[in-house]
């Protein structure tokens, strides 16, 4: 179950932050998202393997905390998508297809001529689409 999604701009400024559990956990989830930004920076600037993984968009599992897993995805414009989930046995393919749908929703939100790049995403239809994508995340997902 996804508990939090976030979109962070290329200067690490938050563009969209949404949590899907009760509000008492929201602050902790925001903090987890913030910490995972450091992990992303470290992955991007110091590639562990050869140059072939230098420009992959899907960053994979960033770090596991006590009962959450955090996944990251980096777009071509250095905009980062972060997803926090409580599932223990989530498959890689599921996460990749989730990020693909999320990227599609993000591109549509950015193509809005009234959206200023660098400002927060305020579109209601984007929030609804994200809600739908998050609700349909799970092992039964087909694309």
* Binding stretches for another protein (CB under 8 A): 10, 54-58, 74-78, 103-104, 106-107, 110-111, 113, 117
Cβ at position 119, least distance to another protein in Å: 13
Cβ proximity to another protein, 53 vs 136, nearer residue? 53
Q: Which is nearer to another protein, 32 or 62 (CB)?
A: 62
Query: At its nearest, how many Å lie between another protein and the CB of residue 31?
Result: 28
Quick check: helix, strand or coil at residue 21?
A: coil
What is the rounded distance in angstroms from the CA atom of residue 115 to the CA atom of residue 97?
A: 26
- Neighbouring-strand partners of residue 18: 5
Pairing of strands 80-85, 58-64: unpaired
Nearest approach, Cβ of 115 to another protein (angstroms)?
9
HSE-CB of 2 using CA atoms within 13 angstroms: 25
């Amino acid at each position: 179950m996804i508990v939090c999604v976030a979109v962070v701009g290329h200067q690490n400024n938050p563009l969209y932050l949404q949590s899907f559990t009760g509000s008492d956990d929201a602050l902790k989830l925001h903090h987890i998202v913030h910490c995972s930004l450091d992990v992303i920076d470290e992955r991007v600037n110091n590639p562990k393997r050869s140059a072939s993984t230098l420009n992959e968009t899907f960053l994979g599992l960033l770090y596991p905390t006590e009962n959450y897993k955090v996944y990251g995805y980096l777009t071509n414009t250095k905009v980062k998508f972060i997803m926090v989930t409580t599932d223990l046995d989530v498959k890689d393919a599921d996460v990749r297809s989730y990020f693909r749908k999320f990227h599609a929703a993000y591109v549509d939100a950015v193509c809005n001529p009234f959206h200023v790049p660098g400002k927060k995403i305020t579109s209601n239809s984007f929030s609804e689409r994200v809600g739908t994508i998050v609700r349909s995340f799970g092992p039964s997902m087909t694309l």
